[in-house]
Amino acid sequence: LGRNKNEQCWVRYEQHKSENVKKRFELAGELQTAIDNDDLELFHQPQINLKTGVVQGSELLLRWNHSDLGYVSPERIIDIAEETGTIHHLTEWVITQGLSQHAKLYRLGFEHTISINLSSKDLTDNGLIAHILTTVAEYVIPPKTIVFELTESATTNDPEMAKSVITELHQQGYKIAIDDFGTGYSNLDYLSQLPFDMLKIDRSFMNLAMSKRNNMITEMTIALGRRLGVSVVAEGVETHEVAEILNNFYCPVAQGYLYAKPMAFIDYMRWLQKKPKQHE
């Protein structure tokens, strides 16, 4: 009887697994269609200069409101896109849409930066740089206003190829940010060989009011950034108390729900219009 039960369980597990694969396969197809039909959306989350309170840029965050499933998280989208090879197409879409919005803001007088997240798979795409250069030329935007955010793990997949793509982008004048700093593979040796302009402290460290340890790690990361001559962005700032601590550490930039949640482009433009501009 016991064996039978096990077999039943196994059959059920196999069915469950194959359903999962089928679902992922379906979702991948729908993602492809969503890209083609512009059914995806890019939300903006502002980044705030802690000293002046001024908005200095925004990060683009992918959103997909699926007709049946509702909200699909960007992690899930990226995961499926990477697995099925849709990622190059998806990232090109993000770059094209994101830079068109960036150009619109620029023309309105918001000379901010725009931050674009790149997946590890993007750094092994031979066409990535060409797509960036063509799109930037089309919209006539200064490369120094465009930041590419890489997670530490993303840069370790194929270190040599990733390094050459990052170095090339940096040489062309684009800014490079190390996303989720302090998590994943904290390969400081690799980071020491990589050009970058910004460290983003992962939001898991932002319980600064409660954790003495994370307090010290954050302070140390900000000091590291200062010594390296790169900017530091604290991610996931939710309370005034945390912002105050960051300010005491001379953290240059913060991003988080305290200032604003990620917003649809139209809402972000309205939100910006109520804020003081950078050069005022």
Return residues touching ligand C2E (CB under 6 A). Answer: 45, 60-62, 73-75, 78, 94, 117-119, 149, 179-180, 203, 235-238, 255-257, 262
Which residues from 124-143 bind Mg ion, rule CB under 5 A?
none
Shortest Å, Cβ 117 to ligand C2E? 4
**Binding partner of residue 263 among Mg ion, ligand C2E, none, CB cut-off 5 to 8 Å per kind:** none
> How far, in Å, CA of 133 to CA of 169, rounded?
9
Q: Which is nearer to ligand C2E, 27 or 94 (CB)?
A: 94
Stated length of the chain: 280
Show Cβ contacts of residue 252 under 8 Å, excluding neighbours closer than 6 positions.
Answer: 49, 50, 51, 225, 231, 232, 233
CA atoms within 13 A on the CB side of 114: 28
Report the phi/psi class of residue 122: left, alpha or beta, with left for phi > 0 and alpha for psi in -120 to 50: alpha
Burial class of residue 227, CB neighbours in 10 A (0-12, 13-18, 19+) = exposed
Q: How far is the CB of 215 from ligand C2E (least distance, A)?
A: 17
With binding defined as CB under 5 A, does residue 180 bind Mg ion? yes
Whose CB is nearest to ligand C2E? Answer: 256
Cα–Cα distances (Å) from 184 to 13, 198, 206, 236, in that order, read 31, 17, 17, 17
78 binds, among ligand C2E, Mg ion, none (CB under 5 to 8 A by kind): ligand C2E
152 binds Mg ion (CB under 5 A): no
Write down the least CB distance from residue 244 to ligand C2E, Å: 15
State which amino acid sits at residue 200: K
Nearer to Mg ion, 125 or 180 (CB): 180
Nearest CB to ligand C2E, comparing residues 149 and 197: 149
Residue spans of beta strands (DSSP E) within 197-252: 198-201, 231-235
- C-beta of 180: minimal distance to Mg ion in Å? 4
Collapsing DSSP to helix, strand or coil, 188 comes out as helix
- Smaller CB distance to Mg ion: residue 30 or 175? 175
| The binder of Mg ion chosen from 30, 92, 122, 149 (CB under 5 A) | 149
Determine, following the binding rule CB under 5 A, whether residue 30 of this chain makes contact with Mg ion: no
